Chain A
Amino acid sequence: MRNKVISATEAVKAIKSGSTLTIGGNTIRRHPLGLVREIIRQEIKDLTIYVWVAGIDVDLLVGAGCVRRVEAAYVGMGPLGFAPNVRRAVQEGRIEYEDFSETSMLARLRAAGMGLPYLPTKVLLGTGMAQYATHAKPVTCPFTGEQLYAVSAAKADVAILHGYYGDVHGNIQWPMVRNTDDIDPVIAKSADHVIFSVEQLIDPKTVMSNPTMTYIPHNWVNAVVEMPYGAHPGTCDGIYDPDSRHLEEYMEAAKSDDTFKAYLDKYVFGTKDDFEYLEQAAGLAHLLSLRVSH
């Protein structure tokens, strides 16, 4: 068992232009945004993204021009409304977008994690998604004869996720108090190469004292990056709330390509790493004020 801790810069080198990428989190919660910012910094392009219920992660990548295609059950900013960059890009025909429902996208990611080429589902019957999806085909059940849809495995080259705590070997733990509305374990299983950013590196003995809190064992993980506030400006449930102040700035900037370019120049291209980004985007006092009680 080796030490898998590397820098964000090193970790992101595993993501090639033109490849497929899957991302953990949900709307504005616990996305690996520090890693996303590094992807943008390294000007990786033409990505095909597989996500479930995504948000600012995909909106950032689309706004930065890194994305060719999105396959998702939802991309939006939750309580803040639509994902502005994604919406504009789809309306202007600049990216391809394929819709799936929550269970059918889950089925696609699960199939990948199970080493299967597809899984069947009923939910697409009669829907517009079935009409337009390239990854859904009608099939007849060989046992019951009923009509179903087969959805193909969404197997990404790389998965990036943000975990709460991790050790140097890549064991990722969650806390007692958390928001469970995500499919991060499914996403972690689905891809070939898995990178986790974590809020805090903890001692392997700490992990061993509480093994049922390990939701991703080290043997599923290829790289670990310690990135405190790595989900900023989103929330990391149980650790800090979303940064409403910065999110407001983001939503304003994402209204047009020009203003978003200025946002990226200031906060992503203008910062050499995520600590610099955090100092620019929030500052120490403000970040500490976002913490929620233990």
Chain B
Amino acid sequence: MLNSRILTIEEAAAGIPDGSVVTVGGFGVFLQPMAMMREMIRQGKNDINLLSVGEAYAADLLVGGGCVRSVTLASFGFEAVTGRSRNFCKAVEQGKVEVEDYSHFSMASRFLAGAMGLPFTAVHSMRGSDLLDHLPEGKKYVKMDCPFSGEEVILLPAAKPDIAIIQAQRADMDGNLQVMGPTICIEEQARAAKRVIAIVEEIVPRSVIQANPTATLLPSFFVDTLVVLPYSAHPMASYGYYDYDLEHLYTYTNSSKTPESWKGYLDEYVYAPKDHYEYLEQVGGLRKIMQLRADPLLGY
């Protein structure tokens, strides 16, 4: 039964060993486990290897917090607030973080292979692209002639993270997890991982889950740890619950311009608040989070 494994965010983060291979769900302005990223930074995590798709804000924050050794990604551009994910880019430019680039579909496909328990996947993506020039052939990809059709395909190794950190809307006490709005690669990322930590806004009765079965993205046996924490995606959006906090995204990206301002951001929003609720007070408190509430029809 999962309900014995409902942990606080502090406990869940404590269970992530340094050096883990981690994948984080979400994309663009949606559904990234930002509170978990903040907690990981607070706990001083080191040498995390990120297997990513496009969860730019989460990855940028974790890299900015000094927790990351390597990133395998498809794309990290900031939505809503245009521009580069500065913390990530600088870390790569300064040689602090190793990077491996794949195309978007390639990463999705690698996770799918991992989810299916297969050792590799086949794609047409990246053929003729410079991306392949930077991935060691034989280790990170193999060019092969299809044994059936004879056409050239690219084989990529399955993505098999140790831990998937998934931000979702709600679950029941057993961990049947429902995600609303764009699900992106969340399902594949979670199923490919050895262990899943899911962070939700609320626990709902089983009858609510049963009334909406198609929203159940991950049945309970895919969820190992459940954390219940309202507004834990902030400043990202949680569809059906709250919109993204544009004002805070500007604060974030502006502060990542210089090392001093970035340190200031971390001090104010990550290290000073003793918990997630104090963080919410810092970003505007009750007034702000009430403003961010989603319209019941529009979902944002």
Contacts and interface: CB of A to CB of B under 8 A. Distances in A.
Interface of A: 165, 200, 202-203, 205-206, 209-210, 228-229, 275, 278-279, 284-285, 287-288, 291, 293-294
Interface string B284-300: 01110110010111100
Contact of B286 (A202, A203, A209, A284): A284
22 contacts: A200-B293, A202-B296, A203-B295, A205-B297, A206-B296, A206-B298, A210-B297, A228-B290, A275-B286, A284-B277, A284-B281, A284-B285, A284-B286, A284-B289, A287-B286, A291-B202, A291-B230, A293-B203, A294-B170, A294-B202, A294-B204, A294-B208
A291 B285 CA distance: 16
B6 interface: no
Determine the main DSSP class of B at the interface with A: mixed
Nearest to B203: A293
Contacts of B296: 165, 202, 206
Contacts of B280: 284
B230 A228 contact: no
Contacts of A275: 285-287
Given A205-B298, A275-B287, 9 more contacts: A202-B297, A203-B297, A278-B286, A284-B280, A288-B231, A288-B277, A294-B170, A294-B202, A294-B208
B286 A293 contact: no
A284 B282 CA distance: 11
A209 B298 CA distance: 11
Contacts of B295: 202-203, 206
Contacts of B287: 275
Contacts of A202: 295-297
Interface in B258-300: 277, 280-281, 285-287, 289-290, 293, 295-298
Given A206-B298, A228-B290, A288 B208 contact: no
Interface of B: 170, 202-205, 208, 230-231, 277, 280-281, 285-287, 289-290, 293, 295-298
Max chain A C-beta neighbours (<10 A), residue from B170, B204, B297:
B297
A278 B285 CA distance: 11
Contact of A203 (B289, B290, B298): B298
A205 B293 CA distance: 16
Given A291-B202, A293-B208, A294-B208, A206 B297 contact: yes
A293 B285 contact: no
A119 B71 CA distance: 76
B297 A209 contact: yes
Max chain B C-beta neighbours (<10 A), residue from A200, A278, A288, A291:
A288
A210 B286 CA distance: 28
A208 to B, nearest CB: 9
A200 B289 CA distance: 12
A29 B203 CA distance: 23
Contacts of A206: 295-298
A288 B230 contact: yes
A281 to B, nearest CB: 11
B172 to A, nearest CB: 10
